[in-house]
């Protein structure tokens, strides 16, 4: 049983299922499985029941229903939810006053009829790729709870992959939507920088912070994206562009697209599963060339130092006052970040324009660039290193290697899950800025052709056995 | 031997980072407990290595940084 957004909203609109019944089913799944997965940090049952009652009433009275009416969703706990402190995965923010209002994107999904059911686990202050959290415990991978969900939107990946909810919101500064989408085997969208409003979300690095949806199928991803779009004066980076809905043209006949594979930097250090997944998607899309995004290692370095500088500024006072209350790994990262010279950051911001121009040049000759989303499928929780070609490689430093250069310049990416055995892994479909539609259309076509799919996790009983082995 | 500096014109090494961290922590008013030091040192070494890779890429003097600052985004200027 895997009801999609379309199934749920359709069943509700046709009167086959009450919003309250859909909600109760979701709350039951969460109650049964969250102990094992640790995806949710708060369940907003009371609020959700009120919303569901209002939706049922609206339907009974024949009032118009939104495209997501009755659909349960959850958000990474850096999104403001009225009445809750916005944790951003931290202990320190637990002392903050409750948010006075919802984040813009939470309000948009609810305006479309969706029902918020809770907030999701994440790496502290979004500054990590593993999905581990020293305060709340790690968000676990439904395909094997002994493995990482990926981060920093780990709870978002875990909750959607386990079908606790069909839709979650995450944020992505360097890969935090794309890495968990890859490790958990689901669809994820990191839109163009500035496309979706970040108002009411706790930041990491303003130069690169993006927000976006994670979902169990390509159509659901597009439906959510359409409900999320639109200008927002509350986010100065959010584009004034009007919404450009994708769902109505999702299955538009595919025009001849020029599809390339990212070579060079993006071809190094790949585990066999990443290569296999890329080859499968590339073959299905008729990729006929390899392009090199020049100086991508430096792009990653530049993204690293800007993120470090912006994060060090953001957390400076918290580091001075409450250093002991940070996750030790994040604290050490932030303390070191505070010591990098300012001139390096300026160099990075100048390099950013240079790199963007080179990648825009590449997109004159191609429409789509493919790259793996992660170099490997989900590592075991706590693993520090993985062996590649007999050499140990750092898990923390490598999980985001393939995503960071792309968010550095804000190009849109859809991640599609390739259901390899025993674990899925994602491929990035990268397009030119503001061309999310192309990426989503390809994701949908690949899913229709059976090339990509979000695989169902094995039954929980089997997992418990393998989890302790 | 690895060099932890922004240029290879100096011979800074891992052991040079400790006095740098101590001095920077005092100047920046950051408290670093002794058992945090190895973690900070590892992260700083990794950050400096990336910074060095980045700054070894030459940029022209007239290169503009990526973010655009608009003095008055609401105004379209004189019409």
**Is residue B10 less than 8 Å (CB to CB) from chain A?**
no
Predicted local distance difference test score (pLDDT) of residue A141: 98
> Is residue A465 very low, low, confident or very high in pLDDT (cuts 50, 70, 90)?
very low
In this predicted model, what pLDDT tens digit does every residue of A48-68 receive, in sequence order?
999 999 999 999 999 999 999
In this predicted model, what pLDDT tens digit does every residue of A411-435 receive, in sequence order?
999 999 999 999 999 999 999 999 9
Q: Which of A90, A123, A156, A176 is catalytic?
A: A176
Predicted local distance difference test score (pLDDT) of residue A168: 98
A158 is catalytic: no
pTM over 0.90: yes
pLDDT, mean of residues A362-387: 95
Q: Which of B12, B50, B71, B76 to mutate to test the interface with A (most CBs of A within 10 A)?
A: B50
A296 is catalytic: no
Q: Are A118 and A110 in contact (CB under 8 A)?
A: no
The answer to whether the Cβ–Cβ distance between B66 and A350 falls below 8 Å is: yes
Q: Are A170 and A182 in contact (CB under 8 A)?
A: no
Q: Nearest CA of chain A to the CA of B76: how many Å?
A: 15
Consecutive H or E run containing A261: strand A259-262
The answer to whether the Cβ–Cβ distance between A336 and B30 falls below 8 Å is: no
> Is residue B55 very low, low, confident or very high in pLDDT (cuts 50, 70, 90)?
very high
Contacts of A345 in chain B (CB under 8 A): none
pLDDT, mean of residues A37-46: 98
Among A23, A192, A206, A199, smallest CA distance to A115 is for A23
Phi and psi torsions of A194, nearest 5°: 95, -5
Q: What percent of chain B has pLDDT over 70?
A: 84
* pLDDT > 60? residue B6: yes
Give the residue, A461 or A160, on which the prediction is more confident: A160
Predicted local distance difference test score (pLDDT) of residue A468: 38
* pLDDT > 80? residue A24: yes
> Is residue A469 very low, low, confident or very high in pLDDT (cuts 50, 70, 90)?
very low
**Is residue B51 less than 8 Å (CB to CB) from chain A?**
yes
**Is residue A352 less than 8 Å (CB to CB) from chain B?**
yes
- Which residue blocks in A164-295 are alpha helix, DSSP H? 178-184, 218-228, 272-284
C-alpha A291: how far from chain center: 26
- When the pLDDT of each residue in chain A is averaged and rounded to a whole number, the result is 95
Nearest CA in chain B to A329: B39
Which of A302, A332, A338 has the CB atom closest to B39's CB atom? A332
Predicted local distance difference test score (pLDDT) of residue B12: 73
Nearest CA in chain A to B67: A349
Q: Are A410 and A401 in contact (CB under 8 A)?
A: no
**Is residue A350 less than 8 Å (CB to CB) from chain B?**
yes
Parallel, antiparallel, or unpaired: how do β-strands A259-262 and A368-372 relate? parallel
Q: Which of A90, A152, A197, A239 is catalytic?
A: A152
**Is residue A308 less than 8 Å (CB to CB) from chain B?**
yes
Predicted local distance difference test score (pLDDT) of residue A1: 57
* pLDDT > 60? residue A224: yes
Predicted local distance difference test score (pLDDT) of residue B71: 81
In this predicted model, what pLDDT tens digit does every residue of A90-130 receive, in sequence order?
999 999 999 999 999 999 999 999 999 999 999 999 999 99
Nearest CA in chain B to A301: B50
Record the tokens describing residue A397, joined without a space: 């430093």
- Which residue blocks in A315-457 are alpha helix, DSSP H? 316-322, 328-337, 342-362, 395-398, 404-408, 436-448
Contacts of A433 in chain B (CB under 8 A): none
Nearest CA in chain A to B54: A298
Q: Is A303 exposed, middle or buried (0-12, 13-18, 19+ CB in 10 A)?
A: buried
pLDDT, mean of residues A321-349: 96
* pLDDT > 50? residue A467: no
* pLDDT > 70? residue A462: no
Which of A320, A332, A338 has the CB atom closest to B36's CB atom? A332
Predicted local distance difference test score (pLDDT) of residue B11: 67
Predicted local distance difference test score (pLDDT) of residue A191: 98
Neighbours of A35 (CB within 10 A): 8
Rounded (10°) angle between helices A5-13 and A218-228: 70
Among A79, A226, A176, smallest CA distance to A406 is for A176
> Is residue B8 very low, low, confident or very high in pLDDT (cuts 50, 70, 90)?
confident
A176 is catalytic: yes
């Amino acid at each position: 049983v895997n009801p999609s957004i379309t199934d749920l909203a359709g069943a509700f609109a046709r009167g086959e299922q009450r919003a309250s019944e859909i909600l109760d089913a979701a709350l039951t799944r969460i109650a049964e499985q969250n102990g094992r997965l640790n995806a949710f940090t708060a369940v907003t049952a009371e609020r959700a029941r009120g919303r569901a009652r209002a939706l049922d009433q609206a339907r009974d009275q024949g009032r118009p229903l939104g495209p997501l009416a009755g659909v349960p969703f959850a958000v990474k706990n850096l999104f403001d939810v009225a009445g809750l402190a916005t944790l951003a995965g931290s202990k320190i923010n637990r002392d903050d006053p409750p948010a006075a209002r919802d984040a813009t994107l939470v309000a948009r999904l609810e305006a479309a009829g969706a029902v918020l059911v809770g907030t999701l686990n994440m790496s502290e202050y979004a500054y990590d790729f593993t999905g581990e959290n020293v305060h709340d415990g790690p968000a676990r991978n439904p395909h094997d709870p002994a493995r990482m969900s990926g981060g920093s939107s780990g709870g978002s990946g875990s909750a959607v992959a386990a079908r606790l909810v069909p839709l979650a919101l995450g944020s992505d500064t360097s890969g935090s939507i794309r890495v968990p989408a890859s490790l958990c085997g689901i669809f994820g969208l990191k839109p163009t920088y500035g496309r979706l409003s970040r108002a009411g979300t706790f930041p990491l690095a303003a130069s690169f912070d993006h927000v976006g949806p994670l979902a169990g199928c390509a159509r659901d991803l597009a439906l959510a994206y359409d409900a999320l779009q639109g200008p927002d004066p509350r986010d100065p980076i959010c584009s004034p562009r009007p919404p450009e809905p994708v769902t109505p043209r999702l299955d538009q006949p595919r025009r001849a697209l020029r599809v390339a594979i990212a070579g060079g930097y993006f071809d190094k250090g790949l585990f066999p599963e990443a290569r296999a997944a890329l080859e499968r998607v590339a073959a299905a899309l008729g990729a006929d060339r390899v392009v090199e995004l020049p100086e991508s290692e430096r792009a990653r370095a530049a993204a690293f130092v800007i993120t470090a500088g912006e994060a060090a500024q953001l957390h400076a006072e918290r580091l001075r006052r409450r250093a002991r209350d940070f996750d030790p790994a994040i604290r050490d990262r932030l303390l070191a970040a505070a010591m990098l010279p300012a001139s390096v950051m300026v160099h990075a911001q100048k390099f950013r324009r240079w790199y963007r121009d080179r990648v825009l040049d590449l997109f004159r000759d191609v429409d789509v660039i493919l790259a793996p989303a992660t170099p490997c499928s989900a590592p075991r929780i706590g693993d520090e290193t993985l062996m590649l070609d007999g050499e140990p490689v750092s898990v923390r430093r490598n999980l985001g290697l393939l995503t960071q250069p792309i968010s550095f310049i804000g190009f849109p990416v859809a991640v599609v899950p390739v259901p390899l055995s025993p674990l899925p892994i994602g491929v990035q479909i990268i397009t030119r800025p503001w061309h999310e539609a192309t990426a989503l259309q390809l994701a949908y076509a690949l899913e229709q052709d059976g090339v990509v799919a979000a695989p169902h996790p094995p039954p929980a009983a089997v997992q418990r056995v393998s989890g302790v082995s | 031997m690895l060099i932890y500096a922004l240029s290879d014109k100096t011979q800074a090494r891992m052991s040079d980072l400790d006095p740098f961290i101590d001095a920077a922590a005092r100047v920046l008013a950051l408290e670093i407990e002794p058992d945090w030091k190895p973690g900070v040192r590892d992260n700083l070494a990794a950050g400096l290595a990336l910074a060095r890779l980045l700054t070894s890429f030459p940029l022209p003097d007239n290169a503009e940084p990526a973010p655009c600052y608009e003095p008055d985004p609401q105004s379209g200027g004189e019409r």
